[in-house]
Homo-oligomer: A and B are copies of this chain.
Amino acid sequence: MYAISKKSKYALRALFELARRYHQGPVLIAELSKHQRIPKKFLELILLELRNQGMLGSKKGKGGGYFLARAPSTISLGEIIRALDGSLAPVPCVSQTAYRTCEECEDEATCGIRVVMQEVRDTTAEILDRENLADMLRREERLEQRRSKVPVYAI
């Protein structure tokens, strides 16, 4: 159907790292770029955008870098994706944050597509707004533990 943009995916990875290092003070773009394998210049734009929206803080000069402006548990995946891609909705006419009428649509009130897509949007938003950065860290830790317990027979 569609996909979240690389921008959002990059942002999620970068913010995971910022969440993991929440108590370490500012983190360099260069480090995030290297660890998460994100083109540095592109990452700059992404972080800047999130900073200008208030989700991140930054500090210039030596000892500077980026950091989460709020606690990891208060930043949801939905908020991050919306911040960069604008909306979670599969069609603009069911978006909460970026509503636009579908120009080909004669009458929204009787549009069956709309009703179904509304349901898709709602369940999607429910999932993505429920999951926050702190959850994700825990989740990834669990996955890594489980993984390391699985015996690997291949050489």
Contacts and interface: CB of A to CB of B under 8 A. Distances in A.
Contacts of A82: 1
Interface in A123-144: 123-124, 127-128, 131, 136-137, 139-140, 143-144
Counting every copy of the chain, the complex holds 2
Q: By CB atoms of chain B within 10 A, which of A82, A106, A123 has the most? A: A123
Assign chain A's interface to a size class: 35 or more
A139 B112 contact: yes
SS class, residues of chain A in contact with chain B:
helix
5 contacts: A1-B87, A4-B117, A13-B113, A37-B106, A115-B139
A127 B121 CA distance: 11
Interface string A95-118: 000000010101101111101110
